[in-house]
């Protein structure tokens, strides 16, 4: 299950204000591995989606390449070549994926699932279904990768939020967010509908929904902070992630 | 986890972008604009029953928060018809800092100019901008980011200078307009020495070099010169181009010493008088004098022609 795998990863690297990037580059072996897991949590969906949609890789090959990509990040110390002054981490990672995907001659040497370090088991089957729904949309590689990156971060943040709500006994708060903000506009209930459905006052719906959104925002920005190298990159990426960047 | 399709993602983004107004006197009405530091929403002040603008940081950030708060404090000390009045400052439940101000409905200068207003009208807008900036200088505040996007023309023709987030406060006690680099203690949100903030094309060289201490009121003189140049269409009079060039001199000492002096030259141009930035030869001076006093010159010429005709025909 994607959910179980993601939750496992989320717990391995609890919400923190530290950059996973710094830990991968400067930390000890264990710290680096945990940090890589956090980076993978945010990036596995966009990496897989990008390989499928842009590189037109079949499912099995995209899955193996995605795993190999994260193993390489750690084993080949790829992030030591990253210079935050020259590019965003997201751009650097996309370039690394392009190199990996283009290196067809190395296919035979690729690590197989479970065979290498940091071979994280994500639910590629569910990601496959998602990607195949989106197949056929012609987009520039950077646009496609950014879209998949945003989708991946939001999905990971929702999973972390669920973890947090469960720990704090606020499952109803999460349920309100899922039934309101995640519902299609045509099917979106009114606050009064939700109040009846949950047997609470309308003002409680307003307050609990506001709480869930605040927490989701916090979790999302924490996750983003872990995956950026500097405050300026964090600001820029937060603007992209929240759809605030101008044309 | 259900798939986050594009429309769900868009809704989530919108939900997380919107300011969390729970516990405040404000109710969200809609988006009013975006800026470098944050986003501006139209909100209803339910206590007073009026619509105001709420500017909120896009996300929590101590440095930008200090700049937003500072912008509110700067605005509060600049009570002028050309500067938007600030009402309130605070922090929302989601941790983001905000301030509220008068909601101005109108168009930005770049949108206004696209509708091809005649030159005298553009120059009058320019003078209103200069008045507001000169007032700020008199209060010891340098804007440092004057550009078309930061000027708003209201529905009743009022001209407002917006976005004081990069403003530099020269000296709390100053009242003069001439901008020397006077000293005062640093405030939170002051931009540090070496920080380059501003907009290329409208930013003077001393600001581009990152020397905050070297930036004084003459930085705004440069930006206003760039704004004037931007307002001029092809074939604009040489005197106006000369005014713009002088305001945009590379060395601050070669520019107009104050915004007031720059504005005075533009006013002289509008009056048909000689401008200090454009030395004239005798012929040009006569031509301008004739153009300026066209009616008087016409009457005198008509009188002289009439008088000549009488003399010619009467032989007297």
Residues written for chain B: 316
Mapped to the 3 state alphabet, what secondary structure does A26-70 carry?
HCCHHHHHHHHHHHHHHHHHHHHHHHHHCCCCCHHHHHHHHHHHH
Stretch (H or E) spanning B118: none
Neighboring chain B residues of A235 at a CB cutoff of 8 Å: 59, 61, 64
ipTM beyond cut 0.85: no
Q: Class for domain B106-271, per CATH?
A: mainly alpha
- The answer to whether the B11-102 and B106-271 domains have the same CATH topology is no
Evaluated on CA atoms A27, A31, A37, A39, the torsion sign reads negative
B17/A242 CB distance under 8 A: yes
What local confidence, expressed as pLDDT, does residue A4 receive? 45
Sequence-separated (6 or more) residues with CB below 8 Å from residue B59: A217, A221, A235, A238, A242, B96
A17-45: pLDDT as tens digits: 457 777 777 777 777 777 787 788 788 88
- The structure tokens listed for B2 are 């259900």
Question: How does DSSP classify residue B34?
Answer: E
Catalytic residue among B5, B6, B110, B145, which?
B145
Helix (H, G, I), strand (E, B) or coil at B233: coil
- The structure tokens listed for A87 are 């590019």
Is residue B314 less than 8 Å (CB to CB) from chain A?
no
Sequence-separated (6 or more) residues with CB below 8 Å from residue A233: A84, A88, A89
The CATH superfamily of B11-102 is: Phosphorylase Kinase; domain 1 (3.30.200.20)
Average confidence (pLDDT) over B185-205: 62
Residue A12: pLDDT band with limits 50, 70, 90: very low
Average confidence (pLDDT) over A167-180: 94
What local confidence, expressed as pLDDT, does residue B91 receive? 93
With beta carbons less than 8 A apart as the criterion, state whether B145 and B165 touch.
yes
Q: Has residue B177 got a pLDDT over 60? A: no
- The structure tokens listed for A215 are 């927490």
Is residue B303 less than 8 Å (CB to CB) from chain A?
no
CB atoms within 10 A of CB A132: 12
Q: Has residue B161 got a pLDDT over 90? A: yes
Residue A236 Cα, gap to closest chain B Cα (Å): 11
A50-96: pLDDT as tens digits: 898 888 888 888 888 988 888 887 777 777 788 877 888 888 888 88
Domain boundaries, chain B: 11-102, 106-271, 282-314
B145 given a catalytic annotation: yes
- For A22, what's the count of Cα atoms within 13 Å in the CB-facing half-sphere? 10
B12/A243 CB distance under 8 A: no
Is residue A169 less than 8 Å (CB to CB) from chain B?
no
Q: B210-225: buried (b, 16+ CB within 10 Å) or exposed (e) per residue?
A: eebebbbbbbbbbbbb
CA–CA gap between residue A190 and residue A188 (Å, rounded):
7
The strand pairing partners of B36, in sequence order, are none
For residue A220, give the nearest of A237, A232, A206 by alpha carbon.
A237
Neighboring chain A residues of B16 at a CB cutoff of 8 Å: 213, 216-217, 220, 242
Is residue B175 less than 8 Å (CB to CB) from chain A?
no
What local confidence, expressed as pLDDT, does residue A1 receive? 40
B34/A246 CB distance under 8 A: yes
Is residue A184 less than 8 Å (CB to CB) from chain B?
yes
Stretch (H or E) spanning B213: none
Report the share of chain A in percent with pLDDT over 90: 22
Reported pTM: 0.71
For residue B60, give the nearest of A206, A214, A212, A23 by alpha carbon.
A214
Residue A104 Cα, gap to closest chain B Cα (Å): 31
Q: Has residue B265 got a pLDDT over 90? A: yes
With beta carbons less than 8 A apart as the criterion, state whether B34 and B27 touch.
no
With beta carbons less than 8 A apart as the criterion, state whether A9 and A38 touch.
yes
CA–CA gap between residue A23 and residue B200 (Å, rounded):
37
A206/B11 CB distance under 8 A: no
In terms of Cβ atoms closer than 10 Å to its own Cβ (0-12, 13-18, 19+), residue B48 is: exposed
Q: A157-179: buried (b, 16+ CB within 10 Å) or exposed (e) per residue?
A: bbbbbbbbbeeeebebbbbbbbb
Q: Has residue A138 got a pLDDT over 70? A: no
Question: How does DSSP classify residue B80?
Answer: B
Q: Has residue B98 got a pLDDT over 90? A: yes
For residue B177, give the nearest of B74, B260, B81 by alpha carbon.
B260
């Amino acid at each position: 299950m994607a959910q179980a795998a993601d939750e496992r990863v989320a717990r391995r690297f609890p919400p923190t204000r530290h950059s996973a990037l710094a830990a991968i580059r400067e930390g000890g072996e264990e710290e680096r591995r945990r940090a890589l897991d956090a980076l993978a949590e945010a990036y596995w969906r966009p990496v897989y989606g990008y390989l499928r949609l842009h590189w037109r890789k079949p499912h099995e090959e995209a899955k193996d390449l995605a795993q190999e990509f994260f193993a390489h990040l750690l084993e080949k110390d790829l992030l030591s070549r990253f210079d935050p002054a020259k590019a965003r981490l997201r751009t650097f990672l996309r370039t690394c994926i392009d190199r990996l995907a283009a290196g067809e001659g190395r296919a035979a040497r690729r690590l197989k699932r479970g065979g290498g370090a940091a071979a994280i088991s994500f639910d590629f089957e569910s990601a496959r279904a998602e990607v195949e729904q989106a197949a056929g949309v012609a987009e520039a590689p950077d646009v496609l990768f950014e879209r998949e990156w945003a989708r991946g971060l939001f999905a990971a943040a929702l999973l972390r939020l669920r973890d947090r709500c469960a720990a704090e006994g606020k499952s109803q708060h999460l349920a309100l967010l899922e039934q309101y903000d995640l519902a299609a506009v045509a099917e979106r209930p009114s606050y009064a509908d939700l109040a009846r459905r949950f047997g609470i006052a309308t003002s409680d719906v307003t307050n609990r929904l506001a709480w869930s959104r605040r927490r989701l925002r916090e979790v999302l920005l924490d996750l983003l902070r872990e995956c950026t190298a500097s405050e300026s990159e964090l600001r820029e990426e937060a603007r992209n992630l929240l759809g605030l960047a101008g044309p | 986890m259900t798939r986050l399709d594009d429309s769900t993602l868009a809704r989530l983004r919108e939900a997380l972008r919107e300011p969390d107004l729970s516990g405040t006197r404000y109710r969200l009405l809609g988006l009013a604009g975006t800026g470098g530091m944050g986003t501006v929403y139209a909100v209803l002040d339910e206590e007073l029953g009026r619509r105001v603008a709420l500017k909120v940081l896009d996300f929590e950030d101590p440095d930008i928060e200090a700049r937003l708060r500072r912008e509110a404090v700067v605005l509060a000390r600049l009570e002028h018809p050309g500067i938007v009045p600030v009402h309130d400052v605070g922090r929302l439940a989601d941790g983001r800092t905000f301030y509220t101000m008068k909601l101005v409905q109108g168009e930005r200068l770049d949108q206004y100019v696209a509708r091809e207003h005649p030159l005298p009208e553009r120059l009058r807008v320019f003078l209103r901008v200069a008045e507001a900036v000169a007032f700020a200088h008199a209060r010891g505040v340098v804007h440092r980011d004057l550009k078309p996007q930061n000027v708003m023309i209201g529905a009743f023709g009022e001209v407002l200078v917006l976005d004081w987030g990069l403003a530099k406060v020269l000296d709390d006690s100053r009242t003069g307009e001439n901008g020397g680099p006077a000293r005062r203690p640093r405030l939170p949100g002051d931009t540090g020495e070496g920080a380059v903030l501003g907009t290329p094309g409208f930013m003077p060289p001393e600001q581009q070099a990152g020397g905050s201490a070297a930036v004084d009121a003459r930085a705004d003189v440069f930006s206003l010169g760039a704004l004037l140049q931007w307002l001029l269409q092809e074939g604009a009079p040489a005197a106006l181009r000369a005014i713009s060039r002088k305001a945009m001199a590379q060395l601050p000492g070669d520019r107009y010493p104050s915004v007031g002096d720059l504005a005075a030259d533009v006013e002289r141009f509008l009056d048909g008088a000689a401008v200090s930035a454009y030395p004239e030869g005798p012929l040009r001076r006569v031509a301008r004098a004739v153009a300026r006093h066209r009616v008087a010159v016409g009457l005198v010429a008509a009188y002289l022609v009439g008088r000549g005709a009488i003399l010619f025909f009467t032989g007297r």
